Structure 1
Amino acid sequence: MLTFEQKQEIIESYPELTKKEVSLKRLNYHFEDSLYDKKTVVYHLHPNGNGFVFVGDLKKYQSDSKGMINIREATEAELREMITDSIGILSEEEHYEEEVLNVEQVWKNREGQELKLIQEDTLWNIYHTHNLEESYGSFEEAEEYLLSEGFRTSNK
């Protein structure tokens, strides 16, 4: 496990991050050039080595409901990858853009049944006529369900 000092040294090697001291000797690191209200990349780095990195909804991480992942046991390579990904998320418009677009797709199966996939706020909802059938947190999850049930879009 990396020490607090080692983690701090790795994090501070990113010149685009700004250190902010918080309570109980913990540190936050902000990406001030974020395109979003969210600026915190590293949250509550503690002298005991605990802390979190914001990775949003990237599928390669098992993040919590706030998009954070614990870095207590992270290796140097893992920590660097998380920080790089976090800065990427906060500096790329298209990452969050897909969450606010109103998307509606019609999916059909071989029997001719139709389901509609509609993005509403941050959810991807599947409707049969006007009835909500399923709801997912990402397009990928909804698409996986539809494909597994034998539905295809005209693009598939």
Structure 2
Amino acid sequence: MLSFDEKRKIINGFAALEEKPVSMKRYNYHYPASKREKTVLVKHLHPNGNGFVYAPYLEESAKLDKEGYVNIYDVTEAELIQLIEQALTYMDSDGGAYQEGDTFVYQNDTGELLKLVFENKMWIVYAYDNVEAVFKSLDQAESYLADEGFFEEQE
């Protein structure tokens, strides 16, 4: 396990991040150039080695808190660097090449239709006018639809 000082040195190695002290001797690291609403990339790095990296892009099986942060208590140096690099890439994007309201229609073998709509930087699956599911990424939404037997209609 990396110590607090080792983690702090690694995080401070990213020039784009700004270190800001918070309560109980903890530090947050802000990414002011973020194209997303969130600017805190690392939150609550504590002298006991605990802390969190913003990672809403990780698979749903990852242990994320309700705000989309993953715990870095027992990560390796390589894992910490990778998490920060991925978070920077994510925060540098504004949701991808999709525009608000982009809609795709999916159909199963029995002819049922579902709509996949890009809204508020999220992918929403609609059955008629009802929300069926909400996903943070297109890959997650498409995987869900495929698991349920739905495939994009070809024009």
TM-score bucket (shorter structure): 0.7 to 0.9
Question: Cα 1:126–1:21, aligned 2, differ >3 Å: closer, same or farther?
Answer: same
Contact 2:116–2:123, Cα closer than 8 Å, also in 1: no
Structure 1 residues 97-116: aligned runs within 5 Å: 98=98, 101-116=100-115
Paired position in structure 2 for 1:87:
88
Question: Cα 1:63–1:16, aligned 2, differ >3 Å: closer, same or farther?
Answer: same
Question: Cα 1:75–1:147, aligned 2, differ >3 Å: closer, same or farther?
Answer: same
Paired position in structure 2 for 1:152:
151
Provide structure 2 residue ranges, at least 5 long, that are not aligned to the other structure.
none
Of all paired residues, the percent bearing the same amino acid is 36
Provide structure 1 residue ranges, at least 5 long, that are not aligned to the other structure.
none
Question: Cα 1:76–1:31, aligned 2, differ >3 Å: closer, same or farther?
Answer: same
Paired position in structure 2 for 1:143:
142
Secondary structure of the corresponding residue to residue 82 of structure 1: helix
Displacement of 1:30: 1.0
Paired position in structure 1 for 2:78:
77
- AA paired with 1:49? G
Per-residue displacement from partner, 1:30-89 (whole Å, max 9, x unpaired)? 112112331111101111111111112332843222110111101100110111111111
Displacement of 1:116: 2.9
Question: Cα 1:63–1:111, aligned 2, differ >3 Å: closer, same or farther?
Answer: same
Question: Cα 1:81–1:22, aligned 2, differ >3 Å: closer, same or farther?
Answer: same
Secondary structure of the corresponding residue to residue 152 of structure 2: coil
Structure 1 residues 59-74: aligned runs within 5 Å: 59=59, 61-74=62-75
Decide which of 132, 135, 141 is 1:134's aligned counterpart: 132
Displacement of 1:123: 5.2
Higher helix residue share: 1
Contact 1:57–1:63, Cα closer than 8 Å, also in 2: no
Alpha-carbon distance between aligned partners in 1 of 2:58 and 2:12, rounded to the nearest angstrom: 23
The alignment's C-alpha RMSD in Å is 2.5
Contact 2:4–2:48, Cα closer than 8 Å, also in 1: yes
Please report the TM-score for the alignment, with normalisation by the length of structure 1. Answer: 0.81
Secondary structure of the corresponding residue to residue 49 of structure 2: coil
Please report the TM-score for the alignment, with normalisation by the length of structure 2. Answer: 0.82
